[in-house]
Amino acid sequence: MPAVSDVAPPSRRVFQVAFAVFVGSILFSVAGTLLLNAAPRQAAVALGWIATHTGLSLNDLIKGSTWVYMALLPVLTFVLYLPALGWRRSVLFFLWGSVIGATAELVGTQTGFPFGAYAYGDLLGAKILGHVPWFIPPSWYAMALVCYDLARRFRLPTWGTLATGAVLMVLWDVALDPAMSTAFPFWTYEASGAYFGMPLVNWAGWLLTSAVIVWGFDRLLGGLDTEAKGAPLLYAANVLFPVFICLAYGVPLAGLIGLVALAVPFVALRWRGTPQREVMTA
């Protein structure tokens, strides 16, 4: 049975602080949204005060919290797996996941393959070659590595682990896409699709891209021989963010489906008999 790794000092402290800020950015977005919906007049007064004293608009606040969230996700993953991988392999994992993610996104935004025809707006900041925000490729690395770790816990043959890792990525997108393309349009599709505006071919693109990244982690870079304690918590927090956005911005059904999708891997792991301490200890 693989060892269960923890984040070693001083990396543990870095992880704890970064995770606190990461969760704080999520809570800030959720609390702000709830305030806007529940007390729009009071929210307008608060936003007016903020704009007067800081020059920040509602759009700036939304972008700021999202940028913090997206910037910290790869940092958290890097620090979480640094004790197991070491610096050299950690950098290689980061480069592999980010380059494959960037390549898929650049091809996708210009040709429509493999995700369907779509384009990013300006809310995520500067873009690679004018098409893909710089925040996006490191997110592929970060979540793919966490999903690969979780997939290994099912004790499947290699092909099963790779497939499960890719499926766990798609389960994340069940709420992510409606949140980021319908509830709050960080990207848009050229033609409205069947799943809250998303074309179903998008999930085929996610499966393909995720499978390539996870395959590289496992086959090219030597894989993992430990299970990071914080992986389930990081996965859950990252899935819950778009779930909250969906629930708050008028697509509650997508949020509820996202909650079901989040439950699937944890229920499956319990059914497989994986010890609780290995899966849920943060």
Say if 70 falls within a structural domain.
no
Q: What is the pLDDT, as a whole number, of residue 3?
A: 58
Say if 231 falls within a structural domain.
yes
Q: Residue 132 pLDDT more than 90?
A: yes
Of residues 122 and 248, more confidently modeled: 122
Say if 257 falls within a structural domain.
yes
Say if 59 falls within a structural domain.
no
Cβ atoms within 10 A of the Cβ of 229, count? 18
Q: Residues 186-205: pLDDT tens digits?
A: 999 998 899 999 999 999 99
Say if 216 falls within a structural domain.
yes
HEC string for the chain: CCEEECCCCCHHHHHHHHHHHHHHHHHHHHHHHHHHHHCHHHHHHHHHHHHHHHCCCHHHHHHHHHHHHHHHHHHHHHHHHHHHHHHHHHHHHHHHHHHHHHHHHHHHHHHCCCCCCEEECCCCCCEECCCEECCHHHHHHHHHHHHHHHHHCCCCCHHHHHHHHHHHHHHHHHHHHHHHHHHCCCEEECCCECECEECCHHHHHHHHHHHHHHHHHHHHCCCCCEEECCHHHHHHHHHHHHHHHHHHCCCHHHHHHHHHHHHHHHHHHHHHCCCHHHHHCC
In the predicted model, what is the mean pLDDT of the chain?
Answer: 89
Say if 118 falls within a structural domain.
yes
Q: Which of 58-67, 112-121, 140-149 has the lowest mean pLDDT?
A: 58-67
Q: Residues 230-272: pLDDT tens digits?
A: 999 999 999 999 998 898 888 899 999 999 999 999 888 887 7
Q: What is the pLDDT, as a whole number, of residue 60?
A: 79
Q: Which domain holds residue 252?
A: 85-280
- The Cα-based distances of 97 to 139, 148, 191, 258, 259 in angstroms read 9, 12, 28, 24, 26
Q: Residues 48-74: pLDDT tens digits?
A: 777 787 888 777 787 888 899 999 999
Say if 42 falls within a structural domain.
no
Q: Residue 273 pLDDT more than 70?
A: no
Say if 190 falls within a structural domain.
yes
Q: Residue 276 pLDDT more than 70?
A: no
Q: What is the pLDDT, as a whole number, of residue 32?
A: 77
Q: What is the pLDDT, as a whole number, of residue 146?
A: 97
Q: Residue 278 pLDDT more than 90?
A: no
**Domain count for the chain:** 1
